[in-house]
Amino acid sequence: MGALVRAALVLTLLEPACLLTQEPRGRPTVAPAPSLHVQFDPWRMNLTWACGDNTTAVQCGMWTRKRGPVTMRLQKLRCHCAFPAAVLHQGATFSVTANVGPRPVTEELDFANPGGQGTAARNVSCLIYRADFMNCTWARGPAAPENVQYFLHIRDLQSGSTRECPYYLRDAKATHVGCHLQGATEFRSEIYILVNGTSPSAGIQFFDDRLILKTIEIYDPPGNITVHCNASTCLVQWDTPRIRVFLSNLEMEYQLDIHRQVEVSGGQGNQYTFPKPLPRAKHTVRMRAADSRVLEWGPWSQPVEFGSEEWLSTAAFVSMVMLGTLACALVFLYLFYRFVGVPIPRVKDKVNNDYLTDDEIIWEKFTPPAGKGDTEEIFSVEEVEESTAKV
């Protein structure tokens, strides 16, 4: 009897525990999201992911600090997408959205610039000149080790061709700090540059950028500058400078320095007319050129002189003729009044005390000789009053 009671009590205490360990009925289990195994190749700028029989990618995207979000829609059965113009040295976030069976899946991948902070090349800049030459320069990163070495790679974004710098410029420690190359005319309109580095002491970050070539090209000065002047105007003419790609006259802009700076559109046919300046001993003009859409001015040409020697000889001749004519006229007038002309009455000098003497008549000088003068008789007339007689 006691054993039966103890068994009933144990069953009563174990029933709630059994209820707690049982799985709830009717609730489905959730399987973990499948991974797409997203990977990114920074040199090829290619984003890839795993493709299965039941996986269909819908879109891929990228976010960078310089360009913001970029999204591309994908075709079916595609397992990669490319970002050839991405600038990544500040980091990026990539994303892929795909349908795995009936279920949409989005996976993100954060990309960081590998290497130590402050080891990448700084102040990177490039310049195209004389149509076919390009120079790029940079400075050593402030945190880069002494044994760092940098390398420049260039990719044409239109053709996809790549090349490494053929000739490096070195500093005192033999570190590459610049690049000189020939063949810039082979590039189309835009390039991607990458300056990466190596060191046995530490990891080196890279620097990359996109360059629009028309914004970094400096044109040579116009050639064959000539100036022709007539009586009223002067005409300046020149030849278009050599440039990397063909541009129409409307896309060219010029500056002329003729005492004041003048900007001239190439649409005027490589010529400029201005009023002829007053004659001067010497006059010069110089020019420089640029793309009218960018206005990155090139160097000035050598000054071209005009209007100097010819004007000096003419002016000297005219001056001598005028001076000779004036001298002859003065000599002629002097001789005429000296020998032929009537004396000119003089103005009386009333300041001198002798001016009265000149006007006096001395009568003694005009006394006639005796016997030849007229005798003057003098009569005296006396008035006599008549007396009155008394009777």
Mean pLDDT of the chain: 77
Residue 32 to residue 36: CA distance in whole angstroms: 13
Q: Quick one: average pLDDT of 47-76?
A: 82
Q: Is 92 helix (H, G, I), strand (E, B) or coil?
A: strand
End-to-end CA distance of the chain: 237
- Per the model's pLDDT, the better-predicted residue between 259 and 243 turns out to be 243
Q: Bridge partners of 258?
A: 260
- Residue % of the chain over a pLDDT of 90: 29
Distances in Å between the Cα of 143 and the Cα atoms of 116, 117, 120, 139, 216 are 8, 7, 8, 12, 29
Is pLDDT of 371 > 80?
no
The 80-82 sheet, strands edge to edge: 39-41, 46-48, 80-82
Average pLDDT over residues 131-144: 95
Among the listed ranges 15-19, 42-46, 202-206, which one has the minimum average pLDDT value?
15-19
Phi (first) and psi of residue 96, to 5 degrees: -135, 130
> Collapsing DSSP states into helix, strand and coil, what is residue 304?
strand
Beta bridge partners of 153: 164, 194
Q: Write out the two tokens for 238.
A: 């020149």
Residue 40, token pair as written in the block: 């990114």
Question: Higher confidence at residue 332 or residue 244?
Answer: 244
Give the residue-averaged pLDDT of 231-241.
87
pLDDT at 24 over 70: no
- Predicted local distance difference test score (pLDDT) of residue 6: 46
At 388 the pLDDT is: 46
In the prediction, which pLDDT does 73 show?
85
Domains, the chain, with CATH or none: 39-111 (2.60.40), 122-215 (2.60.40.10), 223-309 (2.60.40.10)
Specify the pLDDT at position 314.
Answer: 52
CB 143 within 8 A of CB 116: yes
Cα–Cα distance for residue pair 322/251, rounded to 1 Å: 52
Radius of gyration of the chain, Cα coordinates, nearest whole angstrom: 55
pLDDT at 12 over 60: no
Q: Is the pLDDT of residue 346 over 60?
A: no
Percentage of the chain modeled with pLDDT above 70: 69
Q: Supply 384's token pair.
A: 């006599």
Structure tokens at 293: 């859409």
Residues 230, 276 contacting (CB under 8 angstroms)? yes
Contact 132, 123 (CB under 8 A): no
- Mean pLDDT value across residues 36-65: 83
The number of beta carbons lying within 10 Å of the beta carbon of residue 290 is: 19
Q: Decide which of 115 and 9 is more confident.
A: 115
* Phi and psi torsions of 213, nearest 5°: -65, -35
C-alpha span between 196 and 208 (Å, rounded)? 8
pLDDT score, position 179 = 97
Q: What pLDDT is recorded for position 342?
A: 54
Pairing of strands 217-218, 122-129: parallel
| 363 pLDDT above the threshold of 60 | no
Residue 18's pLDDT is: 38
- Cα 289 to Cα 253: distance, rounded to the nearest angstrom: 6
Q: Tell me if 195 sits within 8 A of 207, measured CB to CB.
A: yes
Query: Which comes out higher in pLDDT, residue 301 or 390?
Result: 301
Q: How far apart are CA 142 and CA 139, in angstroms?
A: 9
